[in-house]
Chain A
């Protein structure tokens, strides 16, 4: 992929991810456990991981978290999101390489790891290991949201040609 084209694509991905996480903040609050969120911005992360690779997916995801954090959140939100995103991307990148799961399975692991990263960060921030029991609920919610996100990302990947060859 040509460099200019790639930079433009990455910019568009960051913007789209920011819109999705902003949109997510309007979803009515039924959150009973810290970390329960559909993670719509993960759609962009998965597409970036598949189409551009680990390094660019990382850049897009971290740029989105820091920009959204500065605009709509605070330092706690940034730390919390970064922990989830980093763990999630590393796990998804590893699974993409071993080629057992399709995009849905990769996204399920991404969803669960996203929650795990957030709970670990919350434990550190609050200096309390006792909250790790939230992972029971978060495993279920992360699996369901990860599956939905993966299917959506997969549909987009199969429908749109990001290479620009055509």
Chain B
């Protein structure tokens, strides 16, 4: 069976240091990514890794992406792009909200969809 020493303590100081370091690391990385990215100009739609459509972020439009018997409604509005409706099981794409910066993405894994904002 496992050794008593490893059972003794639930948390040690190294765990706490690890916790704090990872939170700081993740938060800093998030803030750096968020605030150093320039605003994008184009929206590229990739289906299963292939570029299928491109739109300008300046032109408001609505595009229905089709994958097998599913779809995602992609809306470009006021310089942002978001997924307004989708019939995928997890709805992660809808919950990702709106994006506008270069390099940001919205993904729908069940529908093999990547929406990427580009320069």
Segment touching B, from A15-23, A84-92, A105-113: A105-113
B1-26 CB mask vs A (1 if < 8 Å, else 0) is 11001110111101100110011011
Q: Which residues of A contact B75 (CB under 8 A)?
A: none
B90 sits at the interface (CB 8 A): yes
A127 touching B19 by the CB < 8 A rule? no
- B22 to chain A: closest CB distance in Å? 4
- A78 to chain B: closest CB distance in Å? 12
Q: Which residues of A contact B9 (CB under 8 A)?
A: 102
CA–CA, A157 and B3, complex, Å = 12
A29 sits at the interface (CB 8 A): yes
| Number of interface residues, chain A, beta carbon within 8 A | 49
CA–CA, A127 and B110, complex, Å = 13
B103 touching A102 by the CB < 8 A rule? no
Option from A29, A102, A122, A147 in Cβ contact (under 8 Å) with B107: A122
- Which of B26, B27, B29 gathers the greatest number of chain A CB atoms within 10 Å? B26
A99 sits at the interface (CB 8 A): yes
B73 sits at the interface (CB 8 A): no
Q: Which residues of A contact B49 (CB under 8 A)?
A: 126-128
CA–CA, A142 and B18, complex, Å = 12
A96 touching B6 by the CB < 8 A rule? yes
A102 touching B15 by the CB < 8 A rule? yes
Q: Which residues of A contact B48 (CB under 8 A)?
A: 126-127
A155 sits at the interface (CB 8 A): yes
B15 touching A126 by the CB < 8 A rule? no
- A105 to chain B: closest CB distance in Å? 3
B27 touching A140 by the CB < 8 A rule? yes
- Smallest CB-CB separation from B17: which chain A residue? A105
Told that A138-B26, A140-B23, A162-B1 touch, could you supply 6 new A-B pairs with CB distance under 8 A? Answer: A29-B91, A50-B7, A102-B12, A126-B49, A128-B107, A133-B103
